Structure 1
Amino acid sequence: MSDYQQNPYGAPQQPPQQPGYGYPVQGQGHPAQGTDQGYPAQGAYPPASPYQPYPGGYAAPMRPDNGTGTAGLVCGIIGTVCSLLVFLWFFGLVLGILGIIFGAVGRSKVTKGEATNGSAATTGIVLGIASLVILVLWAALFATLVSANSWT
């Protein structure tokens, strides 16, 4: 019977293991000298054990989801800068509101234990509120200037 009929996949049979596990047996040649005697055939090493990083079926710990708190911080910073610049007041308004929303969502994730950047999320809320307060102060200043000019 041929190898093909014995093994339906046609894979060649492995030669028997030779002693040494990769090291030449004493008295046999070295591969650099033109002979490969004393070395095991390819695949003759013992199989590796299956990889189990967490024994007992425990799952790997989840990575913290710090994206929303960081987004709140970034929106708060940019919103505050845009609010200080009068001609970018609309961006300051939108980014201030987004900073408050993202910061609040980030804080809720911190309290649930899903995130670790509570200070960044809180700073995003504070800066979002600051950008809105700056806009209200600008509006009050312009309203005062307009009303002062209308009386003269």
Structure 2
Amino acid sequence: YPGYPGYPGYPQKSNGFGITAMVLGIIGVVTCYLGVLFGVPALVFGILGRKKAQRGEADNGPMALAGIILGAIGIVISLLMIGLVIAGVLLGGSGSGSGSVYDDDYDYGGGSSSHTHVRERV
């Protein structure tokens, strides 16, 4: 008996863009300050992965969409954190005259204080 006829070969799905988008999106959300570095590539790979899924070349469209969403969230969180740090540096400041209650009437020995210190010899 002759064997069964072979099945036609199916093109393999390429799901790399969707997986990459989701992994980069997760890293972008978890690392607050590096969200821009990981979020932008997550958006790019997610968009490319969604296009491949719409053309039928990939079957993980929802995973690519998750990468797009997580990448956008990572970018927003990163920009908010960077903005808060910059605002804290500009508004908070440091050094003398910072408005702390512990800075009042402390003499560093420079003689510029209103209090006079007299030292007697024994």
Matching residue of 1:107: 50
Shift of residue 116, structure 1, vs aligned partner: 0.9
Could you say which structure has the larger radius of gyration? 1
The 8 Å contact of residues 36 and 79 in structure 2, kept in 1 or not, is answered as no
1:137 matched to 2:80? The reply is yes
Shift of residue 49, structure 1, vs aligned partner: 2.4
Give the TM-score taking structure 2 as reference length.
0.68
Q: Stretches of 4+ moved more than 4 A in 1?
A: none
SS in 2 for 1:114: coil
1:67 matched to 2:16? The reply is yes
Stretches of structure 1 that go unaligned for 5 or more consecutive residues are 1-47, 84-88
Give the TM-score taking structure 1 as reference length.
0.56
User: Percent identity at matched positions?
Assistant: 35
Matching residue's letter, 1:105: L
1:116 matched to 2:59? The reply is yes
The separation in 2 between residues aligned to 1:94 and 1:144, in whole angstroms, is 21
Stretches of structure 2 that go unaligned for 5 or more consecutive residues are 99-122
How many residues of Structure 1 are paired with residues of Structure 2 in the alignment?
Answer: 95
The separation in 1 between residues aligned to 2:36 and 2:60, in whole angstroms, is 24
1:96 matched to 2:96? The reply is no
1:53 matched to 2:6? The reply is yes
Shift of residue 64, structure 1, vs aligned partner: 1.6
The separation in 2 between residues aligned to 1:121 and 1:108, in whole angstroms, is 9
The separation in 1 between residues aligned to 2:92 and 2:2, in whole angstroms, is 85
The separation in 1 between residues aligned to 2:56 and 2:27, in whole angstroms, is 27
